[in-house]
Structure 1
Amino acid sequence: MKYTNQITIDVPRQEFLEKLNNSENMKHWQRGLVNYEHISGKPGEEGAQMRLDYKMGKREITMIETILKQNFPDELHTSYDTNGVLNIQHNYFEETDGKTVWKSDSEFKFSGFGMKLMGFLMPGAFKKQSMKYLEDFKAFAENGTSVLDS
């Protein structure tokens, strides 16, 4: 399953990237994130991996994030691997009139019958969740609004 989300954030690209690339900020725009830990490589560089632990409702999910390509200020490509799902993200950043346009191309690969069925039956849920992260980052970057406050 593939799709694209895009959002315009009213901060210059350099400020945008400083906020996006700071692991301490993730808790303010990634709902459900309870812990993160760098597990290999130099943080923020290609090949680096981080363990991300989320609590979503009653479910606990652990993902391994791998930086596939880091070409700031223009792009960041990552993968997120968890039980039955591989999500590959190609993120592009463009500055226009002092604002940052964030375009995110997502590809999900499912393994196992249950995850394949969920991907087939609920593709909109994945796109909606991806867009929610972009919207939450926008609120954080522009206004300092944290998902921890809701």
Structure 2
Amino acid sequence: MKYTVSIEIALPRERVVQLLADPAHMSKWLRGLVLHEPLSGVHGQVGTKSRVVMEMGKQKIECTETITRREPTDLRGIPEGHVVHFDRKIVGEGMWSAVRDRLTEAGPETTLWASENEYRFSGLLMRLVGLLMPGAFRKQSLQHMEDFKAFAEQGKDVREAKD
């Protein structure tokens, strides 16, 4: 299953990149995040493997995230018009996913965040989930982006949100 979601954020690209790259902010916008800890490497750097635990409803999901691309590697002073790439592979029980995030300048004070997502499933249960609920994955990806936008633009913290 493949899909792309995108959102415009009313902040300059360099500021958006700084906020996305800072692990101290992840729990403020990544709904359901319980743990994100590097197992090897440095957070956000190519080749870094991290243990990620997410809580969805009453279920906890554990997976391993590997950073596969980060361009440019130095996020300070990104040249105008340059596309910022953050790619990662996520592997969990019965699931493999690749996420390719692109951040471009939509204007002097606006950033376009486009996220290409690909999922592959193994095992009967996960294959059924992928077949019966493809919209749920797209909806969750967009929810994470909307939560980040609210955090970046307005300082909203998902941990304080009332659902």
Q: Structure 1 stretches (4+) deviating beyond 4 angstroms?
A: none
Structure 2 matches for 1:3-82, cutoff 5 A?
3-72=3-72, 74-82=84-92
What is the CA distance between 1:36 and its match in structure 2? 1.8
SS at match of 1:100: strand
CA distance in 1, matches of 2:10, 2:63: 30
Aligned pair 1:120/2:126, yes or no?
no
- Tell me the equivalent position of 1:135: 146
Unpaired segments of 5 or more residues in structure 2?
73-77, 79-83
What is the CA distance between 1:42 and its match in structure 2? 2.2
What is the CA distance between 1:46 and its match in structure 2? 0.6
- Tell me the equivalent position of 1:147: 158
Match of 1:84 among 88, 94, 100: 94
CA distance in 2, matches of 1:75, 1:35: 23
Identity of aligned residues (%): 39
Please list the CA deviations of residues 2-51 of structure 1 after superposition, one character each: whole Å capped at 9, or x if unmatched: 00001000110110011000111110111111122111112221100111
SS at match of 2:149: helix
Unpaired segments of 5 or more residues in structure 1?
none
CA distance in 1, matches of 2:24, 2:63: 17
Please list the CA deviations of residues 76-130 of structure 1 after superposition, one character each: whole Å capped at 9, or x if unmatched: 1111111111110011110121211000000001011110111011100010001
SS at match of 1:35: strand
